[in-house]
Structure 1
């Protein structure tokens, strides 16, 4: 039983302690903190090496088990419709809050004094990742090339195609699907081992962040940081909370249920580090495997609520900070452009910053070099983006399962009644 486990063996407590130690080391011994970077990078690399095979097995097995292939298309359309509606709402909220609170007012920054070289790499990358290039990039060079590179959308494409074919192969397809399900157990077993070193990864990433950028770097842009965090919290509690309520569960209990994953994301600033674990937890929550397999991976590229809030809020902040006047029509244009550019961002660190650069690149009114203002705090902002994205994708998975009539209400209610206990039981099983 989890009640007999010593407190120091509970994963989320270990991660909390590691984050606190990382902050202390980074603050008091910045050079040592910066030297800890390989620990965080190594943990993220370990997780990323397992993402492609886990997604492939999960999606293929889910689709391959469906007798009605029309169901795949139906779930896909419903999922994209939900993502578009919630993502647009997140963009609009970021725009509204930025207009009302005006966190950039009074900065009076002259764009000509900013060094464009500081953000040249982000701007160049943003231009390379245009809409056409992004769409073409979904198609891998080869079947195994997608798995080797680990590109989420490429893996999703080959997984869906494989699942559709397996579902039509009859008895042969069932045998292949059984083998894929067995392989998934292997990969999830490896994930369970890797997650045990999450505290080390969180310590290294946090020590580096504080050591490299310093807590003092937060002071100059405290208004923007506070506004973004407050907006994200309100979005989760009010918007996602309302959606969760109608889906039959409490957003606060759901957050308690995925506390381990949230703390790992807080430490690493990347939601990809918990993608495989989220798949397992959503299935345990009562969501069907087929829905989980489609919604979670797709959400990592199309349902980034935190990134969307950041994009419109940061865009207005830069306009206000550089005294660039914007009309209502221009703000609506920003919203429309952000709806397109946000679709290519993934859950990895820094993607939101590149997407912001892509948005500014097509808005000539706001100097693109002004994003240099945000360079020093982007690491801190990325943590909130990743946390909000993770909660949004988890809620979407439960909602879509309920929409499809495939949500195990009993499992949902039992889990939500004791989210902390259930989460610790799942953690103990993976040890």
Structure 2
């Protein structure tokens, strides 16, 4: 018989809730950045430090969650089935996101009328991103998944490498069977310790959000949005349309409300907004999806892989930004060229982590293969990319939450009553 955790039912003053503290920190960061921009720009280490704290714990969280989840499957056929369903979902939603970006860019044409001469653009401004994009080849990406040693993946914290090692370890434990029971017990104990550590680190979230937002506004200024407000507004509206309409329809078919899911994840979304990094909320997402009734095995596989392969916000951004640059430079792209752009973007977006700057790098990788759009044109959007990064991260985060629930439902591994309780804001029912 399950019982309600007494800690969860304890009433707290509103100001002690982490999402309230993060929201206040974001507002204070905006004020500091606006009125004391020099001081605000100097607060960047606060945001960077918090993200480093979270990234420090991400590798063990992913490793322990995946190994424990696979080990509890008992049958490797279930593992293959979950992975296939997850990737089928990722591919479908990525395609929808890319197509939506193309459609909106053609309808609204945010870059039309700017009349930018490509020869006047300074390629030096985007040289670093272009250099990093050259390493984004498909073969290089696949080889990069394999770590140097079994333990270097955990030491270096590369998400895909940790994912690869964790899956192999989980499979090995399953094949060994009962002899691996002591190891599985240690893994479960270590997971409890790691998630307790995550809870401790989250206490610093308001400080990180404050520093990151103060730096953003202090460094770039709110006024920087004026010159490219059309592109930024178009991107935000397109992402909102995708979340409410596309993901909303998916959620409705899966038997839950996208609005209620967003409300359930409000603390994590505010953290993503404040830090411009969906990675900052990854450990909390894993924990909350399990508490919402999704099976541990599904959460452990879908959430980490989604952070590299299910980037809805990044996909919208790439096609929208690429067409904006073409329109701004007066370059007409035929339907065939746009479809080529879509296909290339679908490949180059895979493997981009949910961290600040990844979207810009994958955009560079896409434009390098589609010569019709000048890579130097990325300099036009460099100044506002930070603001669009926040929207990319939010959309990616919500997309991965929806994917987890949907795949869990497809697998018959979703506790619908517990999901309903979680989305209604009621105390979760936890197993004894």
**Fold match (TM-score > 0.5):** yes
Instruction: Tell me the equivalent position of 1:429.
Output: none
- Which aligned pairs between 1:71-82 and structure 2 lie closer than 5 A? 71-82=78-89
- Point out where structure 1 has 5 or more consecutive residues left out of the alignment: 427-431
Instruction: Tell me the equivalent position of 1:147.
Output: 154
| DSSP 3-state at the match of 1:344 | coil
Under a length normalisation based on structure 2, what TM-score does the superposition of the two structures give?
0.96
Instruction: Tell me the equivalent position of 1:94.
Output: 101
User: Is 2:270 aligned against 1:269?
Assistant: no
User: Is 2:240 aligned against 1:212?
Assistant: no
* 3-12 vs 394-403, which moves further: 3-12
Instruction: Tell me the equivalent position of 2:345.
Output: 338
Instruction: Tell me the equivalent position of 2:18.
Output: 11
Instruction: Tell me the equivalent position of 1:319.
Output: 326
Under a length normalisation based on structure 1, what TM-score does the superposition of the two structures give?
0.96
User: Is 2:409 aligned against 1:402?
Assistant: yes
Aligned CA RMSD, in angstroms, stands at: 1.3
- Cα deviation for residue 416 of structure 1 reads 1.9
Instruction: Tell me the equivalent position of 1:378.
Output: 385
Q: Any conservation in 1 of the 2:312–2:399 contact (CA below 8 Å)?
A: yes
State the number of aligned residues: 423
Instruction: Tell me the equivalent position of 2:4.
Output: none
Q: 2:202 aligns with which of 186, 190, 195?
A: 195
Please give the alpha-carbon distance, in whole angstroms, between the structure 2 residues aligned to 1:154 and 1:67: 23
Q: 2:288 aligns with which of 278, 281, 285?
A: 281
Please give the alpha-carbon distance, in whole angstroms, between the structure 2 residues aligned to 1:183 and 1:390: 26
Q: Any conservation in 2 of the 1:109–1:322 contact (CA below 8 Å)?
A: yes
Q: 2:395 aligns with which of 378, 388, 393?
A: 388
Please give the alpha-carbon distance, in whole angstroms, between the structure 2 residues aligned to 1:4 and 1:128: 51
Please give the alpha-carbon distance, in whole angstroms, between the structure 1 residues aligned to 2:284 and 2:348: 28
Please give the alpha-carbon distance, in whole angstroms, between the structure 2 residues aligned to 1:328 and 1:249: 37
User: Is 2:54 aligned against 1:47?
Assistant: yes
Give structure 1 regions of 4+ aligned residues with deviation exceeding 6 angstroms.
none
Q: Any conservation in 2 of the 1:257–1:422 contact (CA below 8 Å)?
A: no
Please give the alpha-carbon distance, in whole angstroms, between the structure 1 residues aligned to 2:193 and 2:412: 30
Alpha-carbon displacement from aligned partner over 1:326-369 (angstroms, at most 9, x marks no partner): 10100011011101001021101100000000001111111110
User: Is 2:252 aligned against 1:245?
Assistant: yes
Instruction: Tell me the equivalent position of 1:186.
Output: 193
Please give the alpha-carbon distance, in whole angstroms, between the structure 2 residues aligned to 1:108 and 1:148: 49
Instruction: Tell me the equivalent position of 1:34.
Output: 41
| DSSP 3-state at the match of 1:44 | helix
- Cα deviation for residue 19 of structure 1 reads 0.3
- Cα deviation for residue 116 of structure 1 reads 0.6
